[in-house]
Amino acid sequence: MSSEDLKRALEKIVEPSSVHARDYERNGCLLEIGAEPGQLPAIARAARDAGFFLEFITAVDFADGPVAVYQFNECETISRTQVKVQLAREESLPSIGSVYDAALWYEREVFDLFGIRFDNHPDLRRLLLPEDADFHPLLKEYGKVHAFRSARDIYDDQDA
């Protein structure tokens, strides 16, 4: 299975207009998908059926709400695929732990560091910080901040 197969499968799930090809030489990524939170389980299932593994889940905090980033890759050919989900503050995401076991810890980490909640996660505890911590350190409002920008400012102005 390749990037093309996954692309075809994903175009049935999300709007074809939100599936973009990326410049691998520049960004290290072949495909980027802008998704709605509700579409994530279906995207994860499509990626799993195409033979992809979950590389990581993370988030980036922006002035207009965090963006969750899911990255899938495959062992045989270069076919790294990124899924980005723009969230409003306090908006939660569906867990994909039932599709990828690896997601369980990544989701705990994102919850721990960004405070994003995952619905239907079986065990959403803090992962890296002490269990009694009352802050989410990777939010830009925590600690020393160099810059706080909007997602559009960074992701849309790219040359690629």
Partner 1 sequence: MMTRTPEPATEHTFYLNLGPQHPSTHGVLRLFVKLDGEYVMEVDPIIGYGHRGHEKMAESHFYEQFLPNTPRMDYLSGMLFNHAYVAAVEKMAGIKAPPRAEYIRVICAELNRVASHLMWLGAYLMDLGGVTPFFYAFDDRENILDILDRVSGSRLTYNYCRFGGVARDIDDIFIEATRDFVKRLRGRWKDYNNLVTKNVIFIHRTRDVGVIDKDLALRFGCTGPVLRGAGVPYDVRKAEPYSVYGEMDFDIPTGDNGDAFDRYMVRLLEMEQSLRIIEQALDRLPDGPVTTPTPRKVRPPKGDYYFAAETARGALGYYIVSDGSECPYRLKVRVPSYGNLQTLTEILPGTLVADTICILGSIDIVVPEIDR
Give me the residues that bind partner 1 (CB under 8 A), please: 26-29, 51, 53-56, 58, 60-61, 69, 71, 75, 78, 80, 82, 100-102, 104-105, 113, 126-130, 137-138, 142-147, 149, 153-155, 157-160
CA-CA distances (angstroms) from residue 26 to 22, 23, 142, 148?
Answer: 8, 5, 31, 24
The structure tokens listed for 152 are 């559009």
Question: Where do runs of H (alpha helix) occur along the chain?
Answer: 3-13, 24-27, 40-49, 103-114, 151-155
> 38 or 63, CB closer to partner 1?
63
User: Taking the complex as a whole, how short is the minimal distance between the CB of residue 100 and partner 1, in angstroms?
Assistant: 6
User: Taking the complex as a whole, how short is the minimal distance between the CB of residue 50 and partner 1, in angstroms?
Assistant: 12
> 12 or 159, CB closer to partner 1?
159
Read off the amino acid at residue 160: A
